[in-house]
Protein backbone atom coordinates (compact mmCIF):
# COMPACT_ATOMS: atom_id res chain seq x y z
CA UNK A 1 0.00 0.00 0.00
CA UNK A 2 1.46 3.33 -1.06
CA UNK A 3 1.73 5.98 1.64
CA UNK A 4 -0.57 8.95 1.35
CA UNK A 5 1.47 11.87 -0.08
CA UNK A 6 1.87 14.79 2.27
CA UNK A 7 0.48 18.17 1.31
CA UNK A 8 3.36 20.58 1.17
CA UNK A 9 2.87 24.21 1.99
CA UNK A 10 5.02 27.16 2.92
CA UNK A 11 4.75 28.15 6.56
CA UNK A 12 3.59 31.73 6.90
CA UNK A 13 4.43 33.48 10.18
CA UNK A 14 1.56 35.25 11.92
CA UNK A 15 1.24 38.92 10.99
CA UNK A 16 2.16 41.47 13.62
CA UNK A 17 0.51 44.83 13.97
CA UNK A 18 3.86 46.65 13.98
CA UNK A 19 4.98 45.35 10.56
CA UNK A 20 5.64 48.49 8.46
CA UNK A 21 3.96 49.10 5.12
CA UNK A 22 6.77 49.23 2.56
CA UNK A 23 4.79 51.72 0.45
CA UNK A 24 3.95 54.11 3.28
CA UNK A 25 6.81 54.48 5.73
CA UNK A 26 9.97 56.37 6.55
CA UNK A 27 13.27 54.52 7.05
CA UNK A 28 15.31 54.29 10.25
CA UNK A 29 18.48 53.24 8.43
CA UNK A 30 19.60 52.07 5.01
CA UNK A 31 22.89 50.54 3.94
CA UNK A 32 24.64 48.44 1.32
CA UNK A 33 25.73 45.18 2.95
CA UNK A 34 27.46 42.59 0.77
CA UNK A 35 26.23 44.51 -2.29
CA UNK A 36 22.59 44.22 -1.24
CA UNK A 37 20.39 47.03 0.04
CA UNK A 38 19.19 46.64 3.63
CA UNK A 39 16.38 48.96 4.73
CA UNK A 40 15.51 49.13 8.43
CA UNK A 41 12.26 50.27 10.04
CA UNK A 42 11.26 49.56 13.61
CA UNK A 43 12.19 46.00 14.52
CA UNK A 44 12.15 44.93 10.85
CA UNK A 45 14.33 45.03 7.76
CA UNK A 46 13.93 44.55 4.03
CA UNK A 47 16.66 42.93 1.97
CA UNK A 48 16.74 44.10 -1.64
CA UNK A 49 18.69 42.51 -4.49
CA UNK A 50 18.99 43.29 -8.18
CA UNK A 51 15.50 41.91 -8.83
CA UNK A 52 13.73 43.59 -5.93
CA UNK A 53 12.78 42.66 -2.38
CA UNK A 54 13.61 39.10 -1.38
CA UNK A 55 10.75 36.76 -0.54
CA UNK A 56 9.98 36.56 3.17
CA UNK A 57 10.74 40.20 3.93
CA UNK A 58 10.31 42.30 5.95
CA UNK A 59 11.83 40.08 8.61
CA UNK A 60 12.72 40.88 12.19
CA UNK A 61 16.24 42.27 12.46
CA UNK A 62 17.11 39.77 15.18
CA UNK A 63 16.51 36.89 12.76
CA UNK A 64 19.59 37.95 10.82
CA UNK A 65 21.71 39.73 13.41
CA UNK A 66 22.31 38.69 16.99
CA UNK A 67 21.13 41.93 18.56
CA UNK A 68 19.29 42.08 21.91
CA UNK A 69 15.81 40.59 21.55
CA UNK A 70 14.15 43.67 23.01
CA UNK A 71 15.34 46.20 20.43
CA UNK A 72 12.56 48.05 18.62
CA UNK A 73 14.71 49.97 16.10
CA UNK A 74 18.21 50.77 14.92
CA UNK A 75 19.42 54.34 14.39
CA UNK A 76 22.08 53.81 11.73
CA UNK A 77 23.95 51.00 9.98
CA UNK A 78 26.97 50.90 7.69
CA UNK A 79 29.45 48.39 6.32
CA UNK A 80 33.07 49.24 7.12
CA UNK A 81 35.84 48.98 4.53
CA UNK A 82 36.88 45.68 6.19
CA UNK A 83 33.32 44.37 5.53
CA UNK A 84 32.34 44.33 9.19
CA UNK A 85 28.90 45.80 9.90
CA UNK A 86 28.28 48.52 12.47
CA UNK A 87 24.89 49.10 14.11
CA UNK A 88 24.13 52.24 16.12
CA UNK A 89 21.36 52.01 18.72
CA UNK A 90 20.98 54.90 21.14
CA UNK A 91 24.23 55.67 22.92
CA UNK A 92 25.85 52.36 21.95
CA UNK A 93 27.17 50.64 18.86
CA UNK A 94 27.60 46.99 17.84
CA UNK A 95 30.09 45.47 15.40
CA UNK A 96 29.27 42.30 13.47
CA UNK A 97 31.42 39.96 11.43
CA UNK A 98 28.75 38.69 9.03
CA UNK A 99 25.90 37.67 11.35
CA UNK A 100 28.09 37.21 14.42
CA UNK A 101 28.48 39.89 17.07
CA UNK A 102 32.12 40.64 17.81
CA UNK A 103 33.27 39.98 21.41
CA UNK A 104 33.16 42.99 23.72
CA UNK A 105 30.15 44.71 22.15
CA UNK A 106 28.11 46.81 22.55
CA UNK A 107 30.38 49.74 23.38
CA UNK A 108 29.47 53.37 24.13
CA UNK A 109 29.64 56.01 21.40
CA UNK A 110 32.28 57.79 23.48
CA UNK A 111 34.64 54.92 22.62
CA UNK A 112 34.69 56.35 19.08
CA UNK A 113 35.52 59.85 20.31
CA UNK A 114 31.94 61.09 20.10
CA UNK A 115 30.68 63.39 22.89
CA UNK A 116 29.02 61.92 25.98
CA UNK A 117 26.05 64.24 25.41
CA UNK A 118 25.25 62.63 22.05
CA UNK A 119 22.03 60.63 22.32
CA UNK A 120 22.16 58.84 18.97
CA UNK A 121 23.57 58.71 15.45
CA UNK A 122 21.10 59.61 12.68
CA UNK A 123 23.12 58.21 9.78
CA UNK A 124 26.50 56.72 8.89
CA UNK A 125 28.24 56.01 5.61
CA UNK A 126 31.56 55.50 3.89
CA UNK A 127 31.45 58.35 1.39
CA UNK A 128 32.60 57.14 -2.00
CA UNK A 129 33.72 60.64 -2.94
CA UNK A 130 36.77 60.39 -0.69
CA UNK A 131 36.57 56.96 0.97
CA UNK A 132 36.13 58.48 4.42
CA UNK A 133 33.54 57.47 7.02
CA UNK A 134 31.00 60.05 8.21
CA UNK A 135 28.57 60.08 11.14
CA UNK A 136 25.56 62.42 11.18
CA UNK A 137 23.49 63.54 14.17
CA UNK A 138 21.11 66.48 14.44
CA UNK A 139 22.76 69.58 12.98
CA UNK A 140 26.30 68.18 13.08
CA UNK A 141 28.50 65.59 11.39
CA UNK A 142 31.83 63.93 12.17
CA UNK A 143 34.51 62.40 9.98
CA UNK A 144 35.78 59.13 11.37
CA UNK A 145 39.25 57.64 10.94
CA UNK A 146 38.81 53.88 10.52
CA UNK A 147 42.55 53.27 10.93
CA UNK A 148 42.57 54.50 14.54
CA UNK A 149 38.87 53.91 15.32
CA UNK A 150 38.35 57.51 16.40
CA UNK A 151 36.74 60.70 15.07
CA UNK A 152 39.13 63.14 13.43
CA UNK A 153 40.28 66.45 14.90
CA UNK A 154 38.33 69.64 14.11
CA UNK A 155 34.99 67.82 14.18
CA UNK A 156 32.02 68.05 14.53
CA UNK A 157 31.07 70.43 11.74
CA UNK A 158 27.76 71.92 10.70
CA UNK A 159 25.39 70.07 8.36
CA UNK A 160 25.16 73.19 6.21
CA UNK A 161 28.23 71.83 4.39
CA UNK A 162 25.82 69.31 2.82
CA UNK A 163 23.71 72.04 1.27
CA UNK A 164 20.01 71.37 0.97
CA UNK A 165 19.91 68.31 3.20
CA UNK A 166 19.05 70.09 6.44
CA UNK A 167 19.26 68.68 9.95
CA UNK A 168 17.97 65.52 11.62
CA UNK A 169 18.21 63.15 8.67
CA UNK A 170 16.72 59.67 9.00
CA UNK A 171 19.30 57.79 6.92
CA UNK A 172 22.09 58.15 4.38
CA UNK A 173 24.02 55.77 2.15
CA UNK A 174 25.93 55.47 -1.09
CA UNK A 175 24.29 53.19 -3.63
CA UNK A 176 25.96 50.91 -6.15
CA UNK A 177 25.89 53.62 -8.81
CA UNK A 178 28.32 55.64 -6.66
CA UNK A 179 25.78 58.32 -5.78
CA UNK A 180 24.88 59.48 -2.28
CA UNK A 181 21.29 59.55 -1.03
CA UNK A 182 19.91 61.28 2.07
CA UNK A 183 16.54 60.20 3.50
CA UNK A 184 14.09 62.11 5.67
CA UNK A 185 10.45 61.25 6.29
CA UNK A 186 9.02 59.37 3.31
CA UNK A 187 11.31 61.05 0.79
CA UNK A 188 14.94 61.31 -0.24
CA UNK A 189 17.42 63.55 -2.01
CA UNK A 190 20.15 62.55 -4.41
CA UNK A 191 23.31 64.43 -3.43
CA UNK A 192 25.72 65.98 -5.92
CA UNK A 193 29.10 65.11 -4.43
CA UNK A 194 30.99 67.56 -6.67
CA UNK A 195 28.76 70.59 -6.16
CA UNK A 196 28.24 69.67 -2.48
CA UNK A 197 24.50 70.21 -2.58
CA UNK A 198 21.33 68.24 -3.27
CA UNK A 199 20.81 67.44 -6.94
CA UNK A 200 17.11 68.37 -6.64
CA UNK A 201 15.64 70.69 -4.01
CA UNK A 202 12.34 68.85 -3.88
CA UNK A 203 12.38 65.42 -2.26
CA UNK A 204 11.46 62.34 -4.25
CA UNK A 205 9.20 59.67 -2.77
CA UNK A 206 11.22 56.73 -1.44
CA UNK A 207 8.69 53.92 -1.90
CA UNK A 208 8.39 53.94 -5.73
CA UNK A 209 12.16 54.02 -6.22
CA UNK A 210 13.49 51.73 -3.49
CA UNK A 211 10.51 49.44 -2.80
CA UNK A 212 9.00 49.20 -6.28
CA UNK A 213 5.66 50.69 -5.17
CA UNK A 214 3.30 52.55 -7.50
CA UNK A 215 3.53 56.35 -7.16
CA UNK A 216 0.41 58.05 -5.75
CA UNK A 217 -2.02 59.50 -8.26
CA UNK A 218 -2.01 62.91 -6.58
CA UNK A 219 1.29 64.74 -6.12
CA UNK A 220 1.98 66.06 -2.64
CA UNK A 221 3.14 69.60 -1.96
CA UNK A 222 6.53 68.63 -0.59
CA UNK A 223 7.54 65.47 -2.45
CA UNK A 224 7.96 64.91 -6.17
CA UNK A 225 6.11 61.85 -7.47
CA UNK A 226 7.12 61.94 -11.14
CA UNK A 227 10.39 60.09 -10.70
CA UNK A 228 12.37 57.22 -12.21
CA UNK A 229 12.48 53.66 -10.94
CA UNK A 230 15.58 52.40 -9.19
CA UNK A 231 16.75 50.75 -12.41
CA UNK A 232 16.64 54.14 -14.13
CA UNK A 233 18.92 55.59 -11.48
CA UNK A 234 21.49 52.93 -12.32
CA UNK A 235 21.31 53.30 -16.08
CA UNK A 236 21.40 57.09 -15.94
CA UNK A 237 24.87 57.03 -14.43
CA UNK A 238 26.10 54.90 -17.35
CA UNK A 239 24.51 56.85 -20.22
CA UNK A 240 25.79 60.38 -19.69
CA UNK A 241 27.92 61.40 -22.66
CA UNK A 242 31.63 61.78 -22.09
CA UNK A 243 31.62 65.32 -23.47
CA UNK A 244 28.91 66.36 -21.05
CA UNK A 245 30.83 64.95 -18.11
CA UNK A 246 33.95 66.80 -19.18
CA UNK A 247 32.21 70.17 -19.54
CA UNK A 248 30.48 69.88 -16.19
CA UNK A 249 33.73 68.85 -14.56
CA UNK A 250 35.62 71.84 -15.94
CA UNK A 251 32.97 74.31 -14.82
CA UNK A 252 32.58 73.19 -11.25
CA UNK A 253 35.89 71.78 -10.03
CA UNK A 254 37.62 75.14 -9.64
CA UNK A 255 34.74 76.55 -7.60
CA UNK A 256 34.21 73.64 -5.26
CA UNK A 257 37.53 71.84 -4.80
CA UNK A 258 38.46 73.75 -1.65
CA UNK A 259 35.06 73.16 -0.13
CA UNK A 260 35.23 69.44 -0.83
CA UNK A 261 38.67 69.16 0.74
CA UNK A 262 37.34 70.93 3.81
CA UNK A 263 34.52 68.42 4.30
Residues contacting 142, CB < 8 A, separation 6+: 113, 114, 134, 135, 151, 152, 155, 156, 157
Report pTM. 0.80
CB atoms within 10 A of CB 43: 22
Task: Check the CA dihedral 98-29-113-150 and report its sign.
Answer: positive
Measure the CA–CA gap between 96 and 86, rounded to whole angstroms: 6
At 177 the pLDDT is 85
Measure the CA–CA gap between 257 and 80, rounded to whole angstroms: 26
Query: Does pLDDT of 105 surpass 50?
Result: yes
Measure the CA–CA gap between 16 and 140, rounded to whole angstroms: 36
Query: Does pLDDT of 169 surpass 70?
Result: yes
Instruction: Identify the band that residue 77 occupies on the pLDDT scale cut at 50, 70 and 90.
Output: very high
At 176 the pLDDT is 85
DSSP per residue, the chain: -PPPPPPP----PPP-TT---TTS---SEEEEETTEEEEEETTEEEEEETTEEPTT-SEEHHHHS---TT----SEEEE-TTS-EEEEETTEEEEEETTEEPTT--EEGGGGT--TT-----EEEEETTTTEEEEEETTEEEEEETTTTEEPTT--EEGGGSBTT-SS-SEEEE-TTS-EEEEETTEEEEEETTTTEES-SSEEEHIIIII-PPPPSS--SSEE-----HHHHHHHHHHS-HHHHHHHHHHHHHHHHHHHHH-
pLDDT by residue (tens digit) across 116-153? 999 999 999 999 889 899 999 999 999 999 999 999 99
The fraction of the chain above a pLDDT of 90, given in percent, is 68
Measure the CA–CA gap between 60 and 43, rounded to whole angstroms: 6
The CATH superfamily of 29-211 is Hemopexin-like domain (2.110.10.10)
Average pLDDT value for the chain:
84
Question: Do 59 and 48 form a contact (C-beta atoms < 8 A)?
Answer: no
pLDDT by residue (tens digit) across 192-251? 999 999 999 899 999 999 999 998 875 554 555 444 444 444 444 444 344 444 444 444
* Domain coordinates in residue numbering, the chain: 29-211
Kindly report the backbone phi and psi dihedral angles of residue 153, in degrees, each rounded to the nearest multiple of 5, phi listed first.
-65, 160
How many residues are given for the chain? Answer: 263
SS (H, E, C) 60-80: EHHHHCCCCCCCCCCCEEEEC
Amino acid sequence: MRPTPRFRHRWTPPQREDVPDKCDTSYDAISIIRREVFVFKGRYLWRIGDHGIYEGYPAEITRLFNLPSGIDHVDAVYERPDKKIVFFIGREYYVFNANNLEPGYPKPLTYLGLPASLEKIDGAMVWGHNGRTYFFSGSMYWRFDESVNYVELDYPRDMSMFAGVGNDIDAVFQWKNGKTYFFKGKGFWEFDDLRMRVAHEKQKLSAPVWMGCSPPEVETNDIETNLPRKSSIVSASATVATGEITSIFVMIVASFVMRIIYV
